[in-house]
């Protein structure tokens, strides 16, 4: 019997995808839950796994566009596994076991203790990550349901161990090519990826549909830098992740959004939609383009949880492993161009949002403090906003609130 491998439904707004890379070859024997193909949509890269073991027949080639529900391959599940590659045992169905207990099944107590993470089955994505980075699952503490390992657990483990994400050399840009022979004038034409096409479409749409204006301020980073210096080692030891600037700015942004709710809203038709929750998008650069994963309910997260979320998203953005759900929503965005050395820029709105905060390079500059000229680490910050919903008073007040919270971080703790 042939099992169809179809383009999955990965989100309401996603209608098609491009086959980015086949992880198997035609005629290969695949086991159930093996990753077969990577699909690139206009939001994220999606992995499709085998629903059954068998020999695969590839129908759609790499680079082809496939619609939702379209057959990309078939798996002949009647084929025998080749010698040396036994078929994987079928995955247990927890619901079926729970509803039809056998005489040999072990009763489950009402509040079972958390199982060791190495006793729990790994998802395909987690299994792949542990294999690629040579991480022993038994050495990682799972925080998922019933003690299962999540990608965040593996990343946190690597951050705290020898496999630090910061020790991994960054990948060469996708457009990097060897120099041509002297005197040659060459050019190349390459099709835009779906993500790049979507980015271009959204940026043009933002410029055409919103009255975008940018206001600036500057922030003395002395106190935040002192806090990072004083507590970075203890923070890393306790939480397994570094203490960066992003968590401070996300918390400051939440406080500013509470004070100026229009910045956390957007326009729909003739109505203004105000959000009483704070889902903060974090702009992340990857070889595939700029992506904006969203930290949901950022106001409810601790500094450590914010830093872990940012580190997790950054790692998976570079690997192209963000899910569509993680890229959906967001009421406000924070972008840090300073990591690339940008001194000042005007960020573009991420529709339908009405505001985006731009962070920039920290640079020592002479400033006047209490009538004295002193050298301080300063950062320019920018707020681009939709002038249709946000007035100048609100935009300036918003940045002043950011400035107050960063220059006096105790305001973040007490919420003033």
102-106, 130-134, 179-183, range with the lowest pLDDT = 102-106
pLDDT at 372: 94
Interval 239-249: pLDDT, tens: 999 999 999 99
Angle at 352 between CA 347 and CA 355, to 5 degrees: 40
| Position 277 pLDDT exceeds 70 | yes
Domain that holds residue 11: 1-81
Residue 330 Cα distances to 127, 162, 295, angstroms: 29, 34, 8
Judged against a pLDDT cut of 70, whether residue 170 lies above it is answered with no
Report whether pLDDT(175) > 60. no
The DSSP code sequence of 396-409 is HHHHHHHHHHHHST
Helix-strand-coil percent breakdown of the chain, rounded to 5?
35, 25, 45
Of residues 386 and 63, more confidence is placed in: 386
User: Are the C-beta atoms of residues 340 and 290 closer than 8 Å to each other?
Assistant: no
Task: Answer whether residue 364 is part of any domain.
Answer: yes
Instruction: Say whether both 159 and 223 belong to one domain.
Output: no
Contact 268, 352 (CB under 8 A): yes
pLDDT of residue 121: 65
State yes or no: pLDDT of 225 exceeds 90. Answer: yes
Q: Assess whether 304 and 238 both reside in one domain.
A: yes
Which pLDDT score, from 0 to 100, does residue 85 have? 62
What pLDDT does 382 receive?
97
Catalytic residue of the set 230, 233, 391, 408: 391
Rounded-to-integer distance, Cα 313 and Cα 307, Å:
10
Is 319 tagged catalytic?
no
How many domains does one find in the chain? 3
Asked whether residue 24 is domain-assigned, the answer is: yes
* Domain presence at residue 177: no
One domain for residues 370 and 230: yes
Note whether 282 and 399 are same-domain residues.
yes
Are 297 and 13 spatial neighbours (Cβ–Cβ below 8 Å)? Answer: no
pTM, 2 dp = 0.63
Which stretch, 75-89, 101-115, 189-203, 294-308, has highest mean pLDDT? 294-308
Which pLDDT value is given to residue 12? 59
Distance CA 84, CA 69 (A): 34
Q: Is residue 175 part of a domain?
A: no
- pLDDT classification of 254: cutoffs 50, 70, 90: very high
Average model confidence (pLDDT) for the chain?
A: 81
- Does residue 200 sit in the same domain as residue 134? no
In a domain, 105, yes or no: no
Q: Choosing from 230, 297, 387, 408, which is the catalytic residue? A: 387
Report yes or no on 395 lying in a domain.
Answer: yes
CATH label of the domain that carries residue 151: 4.10.320.10
Q: What is the pLDDT of residue 159?
A: 64
Checking DSSP bridges between strand 332-336 and strand 280-282, what pairing results, if any? parallel
Residues 121, 49: one domain?
A: no
Contact 14, 26 (CB under 8 A): no
Stretch 294-322: mean pLDDT: 91
Tell me, yes or no, whether 100 lies in a domain.
no
- Please tell me whether residue 36 adopts helix, strand or coil conformation: strand
Q: In this model, does residue 386 exceed pLDDT 90? A: yes
391 is catalytic: yes
pLDDT of residue 200: 84
Claim to verify: residue 221 and residue 258 sit in the same structural domain: yes
Domain CATH for 61: 2.40.50.100
Q: In the predicted model, what is the mean pLDDT of residues 26-43? A: 84
Whether residues 314 and 393 share a domain: the answer is yes
Lowest-confidence range among 54-68, 78-92, 127-141, 242-256? 78-92
Quote the CA–CA distance of 250 and 295 in Å, as a whole number.
10
- Beta-bridged to residue 266, according to DSSP, are 273
pLDDT of residue 168: 38
Say yes or no to pLDDT of 95 above 50.
no
Which CATH number is 282's domain given?
Answer: 3.30.559.10
Q: What is the pLDDT of residue 146?
A: 65
Burial of 278 (0-12, 13-18, 19+ CB in 10 A): buried
Regarding whether 205 and 161 lie in a shared domain, the answer is no
Per the domain annotation, does 87 fall within a domain?
no
Residues 241 and 328 in one domain: yes
| CA 27 to chain centroid | 34
Same domain as 361, residue 264: yes
Q: Do 31 and 129 share a domain, yes or no?
A: no
pLDDT of residue 110: 45
Q: In this predicted structure, which of 76-85, 158-167, 238-247, 383-392 has the lowest mean pLDDT?
A: 158-167
């Amino acid at each position: 019997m042939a099992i169809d491998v179809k383009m999955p439904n990965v989100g309401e707004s996603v209608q098609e995808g491009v086959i980015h890379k086949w992880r198997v070859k035609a005629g290969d024997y695949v086991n159930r839950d093996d990753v077969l193909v990577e699909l690139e949509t206009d939001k994220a890269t999606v992995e499709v796994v085998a629903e059954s073991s068998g020999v695969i027949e590839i129908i759609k080639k790499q680079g082809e566009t496939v619609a939702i529900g379209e057959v990309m391959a078939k798996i002949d599940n009647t084929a025998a596994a080749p010698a040396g590659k036994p078929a994987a045992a079928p995955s247990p169905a927890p619901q079926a076991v729970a509803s039809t207990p056998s005489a040999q099944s072990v009763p489950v107590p009402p509040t079972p203790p958390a199982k060791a993470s190495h006793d729990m089955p790994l998802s395909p994505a987690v299994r792949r990550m542990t294999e690629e980075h040579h991480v022993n699952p038994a050495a990682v503490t799972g925080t998922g349901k019933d003690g299962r390992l999540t990608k965040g657990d593996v990343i946190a483990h690597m951050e705290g161990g020898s496999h630090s994400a910061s020790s991994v050399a960054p990948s060469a840009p996708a457009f990097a090519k060897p120099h041509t022979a002297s005197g040659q004038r060459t050019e190349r034409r390459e099709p835009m990826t779906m993500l790049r096409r979507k980015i271009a479409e959204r940026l043009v749409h933002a410029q055409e549909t919103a009255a975008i204006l940018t206001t600036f301020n500057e922030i003395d980073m002395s106190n935040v830098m002192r806090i990072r210096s004083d507590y970075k080692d203890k923070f890393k030891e306790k939480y397994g992740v570094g203490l960066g600037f992003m968590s401070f700015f996300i918390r400051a942004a939440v406080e500013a959004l509470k004070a100026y709710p229009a910045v956390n809203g957007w326009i729909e038709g003739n109505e203004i939609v105000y959000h009483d929750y704070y889902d903060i998008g974090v702009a992340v650069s990857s070889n595939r383009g700029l992506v904006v994963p969203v930290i949901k309910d950022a106001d409810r997260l601790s500094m450590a949880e914010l830093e872990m979320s940012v580190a997790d998203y950054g790692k998976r953005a570079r690997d192209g492993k963000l899910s569509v759900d993680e890229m959906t929503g967001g009421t406000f965005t924070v972008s840090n161009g300073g990591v690339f050395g940008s001194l000042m820029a005007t960020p573009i709105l991420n529709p339908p949002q009405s505001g985006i905060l731009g962070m920039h390079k920290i640079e020592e500059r002479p400033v006047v403090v209490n009538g004295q000229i002193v050298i301080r680490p300063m950062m320019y910050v920018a707020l681009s906003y939709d002038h249709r919903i946000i007035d100048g008073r609100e935009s300036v007040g918003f940045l002043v609130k950011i400035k107050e919270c960063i220059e006096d971080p105790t305001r973040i703790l007490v919420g003033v």
